[in-house]
Chain A
Amino acid sequence: MSPRVAGPLVSILGLSVGLAVLDASGAAFWQGLVINLAIFTILVVSLNLTSGFTGVFSLGNIGFMALGAYISAILTLPLSVKSEYLPDLPPWLAGVHLDQMAGPLPVGWLAATLIAGLLVALVALLVGAVLMRLSGHFVAVATLGFLVIVRVILFNADGFTRGSRTFSNVTPYTNLWWAWAWALLVIYAVWRLKRSQYGRAMFAQRRDRWAAQSVGISILRPRLLAFVIGAFFTAVAGSLYAHFITSFSPTVFYFDLTFRVITMLVVGGMGSVSGSVIGTVVVLAVAEGLRRVEDVTLLYGLSGLLLAAFFIVIIIFRPEGIMGQREISFGRLAARLRSPRGGGGAEGAAAELP
C-alpha cells in the first residue's frame, strides 16, 4: 500500500484506538478537552478555508457558530420541555422536536445539525454575496459588523433564544465519537477542496487577482464558495458545541472566541489544513496549561496576556505560522524514514503545491 493511503489510514486507526481508550478510561476532564479539541479543529479548519485559502479575512465566523448552536438547540428540544421553556415560539416551530433516536443513533440531532448547517450556509450566501466584494481590512471589519449584528439579534429575539438568559436543557448528544467523526470529515473535505480546481482558484485569486482574472478565474465565485462552505462547517461546530456544553448564552459567541480561533489559525499557518490541526493542538495545550497556572497562582488575566504576546511574537518573527501553506505529506515522511538523509522525493515536491 502506498504511504499516501497508508498514512491517513494509520492516523485514523491510531486516533480511534486513542479515543476508545479515553472513552473507556472515564477521565471526564480529558474527554472534555479532546471534544473541545475536535470542535476547535472544525472552527479553525473552516476559518482556514474561508480566510486562509482566499485571503479574505472573516471575523464573523463565530456568528455562524452561534446561529448553528441556537438553531440546532431549538430544533432538538423535546416537546415536554419546549412549550414551557420557549412559550413564544411561532406555531410552525413549536411542534418540531428532532429528538428521535434510531437505536443508538441520534438521527434527530443529525438532521437538526444538517438543517442548521444549510440554513447558516444560506445566510452566508446572502451576506457573502455582498461582503466578498470587499478586501483587506475592510472585509475584516464588515464581517465583524456581521458578528455584532448576530449578537444583537440573539439578544433581542427573546421568543427564540431567551435573549440574554442562559439557554439550557440542551440534550448532551455530543461525545468523543461524534465530535471526531465530524472533525475528520471537515478535515478531509477541506483538504480535498484545496487540491481541487475550486481550491486552486481560491489560492490563485489570493496571490494575484489580476493574473487570476486574466486567465478567467473569477474573484467573487471562489471567495463566496469558501465563505459558504466554511459557514456550513462552522455551524456544525456550533451544533456540536451546543450539545456538548448544554447551556450557553449569546455572550459566549463573541470576540474572545473569535480571537482564540484566529490565534490557532495564524499559529498553524494560513492555507495549510494540517497546519490548522497543529495550531489548534498547540494553542489549546498552551492555553490549558496557562489556565492551570492561573488557577494555582490566582493571577487571572495572565493566560490571556501571555497568549496574546505569543501571537504577536509569531506575527513578527514567523508570520507564515508553523506550516505556512505546506501540508504534512505522508509520502515524504515515509521517504524520510527509509533514508534519513534523502528527504522528499517527487511526491514530497508535489505536496508543496497549494
Chain B
Amino acid sequence: MGDYFIQQVVNAVSAGSLYALMAVGLALIFSILRLINFAHGDIMMVAAYLVTFALFAGMPLPAALVFMVVCTVVIGLLMERIAYRPIRGAAEVAMLLTSFAVGQILQNGTLLVSRLAGQPIQIAFPAPEIVSGVVAFGAITVPKVNIVSFVTGAVLLTLLTVFVTRTRLGLSMHAAAEDLSAARLMGIRVNRVVATAFAISSGLAAVAGFLYASQAGQINPYLGFTPVLKAFIAAVIGGFGSLSGAVIGAYALGFLEVIPTALSGIADILPPGAVPPDVHDLLARVFPSSLGSYRDAFVFVFLILMLLFRPNGIVGGRGREEVP
C-alpha cells in the first residue's frame, strides 16, 4: 500500500514535469500577446518528427537534438512573422482561431512531408537509450524518460528564470507582458521581444516534444492536440500568464490526473481484511476500475470550475473574468 502510494506520487511528479515544460511556453506567449497558441502542441509534434528523421538519417543523438531545436525555433519565428504579427491586438477569439489554423497547417504539412518521404502515418519513435527503459528503486519503478524530463525541466526552467529576471531582454519581456503599448513607449523594441518569446517557447516545445514522443513510443501528425490541452489546463490552474503559476499548475495537474487512476479499482488493491466487507463493496461501487478512463473528462470538469470560480488561478488574486 505504501509503495502503491509512492508510485502514484512519482507518476504525478513525472507527468507534472512534462506539463511544466509545455505550460511555460504557452504562458510566455499568452502573457505578452494574450494569445492562446494552440499550435504549441503541433510545434511539439513537428519537433518529434524532426528528431525522428534526423536519427533515421544517421545523425548522432546530440546533433539530432540540436538540429531539432534549431529547426523548431525557425518554424516558431516564421509562424509568428507570417500568421500572428498581422493580427496582433485583434480580438482574442480571432487570434485563437488563427492558432488553430496554424496548427492545421503544421499537421497537414507534416503529413504531406512524411508521406512524400515514404513513411506511414504512425511511426515508431526511435527513442535513444538514455530515455528508454526503467530504473527500479526497490519496488518502485520509474521510467528513465521521466527522470530525464524532471531534470531537463528543472534546468531549463531555472535558465529561463535567470534570463527573465537578470538580462535586459528578459526584463523587456517582463515589461511587455505588463503592458505592451507602455513598453513600446519606453523604447522597448516590441517585435524583438515577441520574436524572442516565440523562439524560447518553440525551443521549450521542441524539448517537450522529444520527451513526449519518447514516452508515447509512437508519433503521428495529430499527437499535439492532447498535450496542448493539458498545458493549457495547467496554465489556467496556475494562473494564466504567470510563469511560476504555469509550473505550479503543471504539477497540480499531474497530481489531479493521478487521482482518478489511483482511485479506480482501489478496492482490489487494499490488502484483504483491511476494511470491513461492506466498506469494500462501497469502495468498489464508488470507484469502479473503469474510472481511470474518464480521467480527461474529470480534468476538464475541474478546468471549467477553475475558469468559473478562480479564473486567475492559484497564484492570481480572486476576481471574475466575466458577467457580474
Contacts and interface: CB of A to CB of B under 8 A. Distances in A.
Contact of B293 (A131, A135, A152, A262): A152
A319 B96 CA distance: 13
Q: Which of B83, B232, B297, B303 has the most CB of A within 10 A?
A: B297
B97 A138 contact: no
A150 B104 CA distance: 22
B304 A304 contact: no
What secondary structure prevails in chain B residues at the interface with A? helix
Contact of A149 (B297, B307, B311, B321): B297
Contacts of A266: 97
A130 B303 CA distance: 13
Given A137-B92, A153-B297, A156-B290, A142 B304 contact: yes
Contacts of A262: 97, 100
B93 A302 contact: no
Given A133-B323, A301-B112, A149 B301 contact: yes
A66 to B, nearest CB: 14
A300 B115 CA distance: 8
Interface in A254-290: 255, 259, 262, 266
B179 interface: no
A148 B104 contact: no
A18 B131 CA distance: 62
What secondary structure prevails in chain A residues at the interface with B? helix
Contacts of A131: 304
B214 interface: no
Given A156-B293, A301-B109, A138 B87 contact: no
B300 A304 contact: no
Interface residues of A, number: 44
A148 B229 contact: yes
B187 interface: no
A207 B301 CA distance: 30
Contact of B108 (A132, A144, A302): A302
A138 B307 contact: yes
B307 A312 contact: no
A330 interface: no
A136 B323 CA distance: 11
Q: How large is the interface on B (under 10, 10 to 19, 20 to 34, 35 or more residues)?
A: 35 or more
A305 B105 contact: yes
Nearest to A143: B304
A138 B311 contact: yes
Contacts, number: 130
B86 interface: yes
B102 interface: yes
Contact of A315 (B101, B108, B110, B297): B101
A205 to B, nearest CB: 10
Interface string A110-152: 0000000000000000000011111111101110111011001
Q: Which of A153, A266, A311 has the most CB of B within 10 A?
A: A311
Contacts of A298: 115
Contact of B225 (A152, A255, A300, A316): A255
B323 A220 contact: yes
Nearest to B105: A308
A299 interface: yes
Interface of B: 36, 83, 86-87, 90, 92-98, 100-102, 104-105, 107-112, 115-116, 221, 225, 229, 232, 236, 290, 293-294, 296-297, 300-301, 303-304, 307-308, 311, 321-323
Q: Give the 7 A-B CB pairs with smallest separation, nearest first.
A: A301-B111, A304-B108, A308-B104, A145-B300, A301-B112, A301-B108, A305-B108
Given A155-B293, A156-B290, 13 more contacts: A134-B322, A135-B322, A137-B92, A142-B307, A146-B300, A148-B229, A153-B294, A303-B108, A304-B108, A305-B105, A305-B112, A312-B105, A319-B87
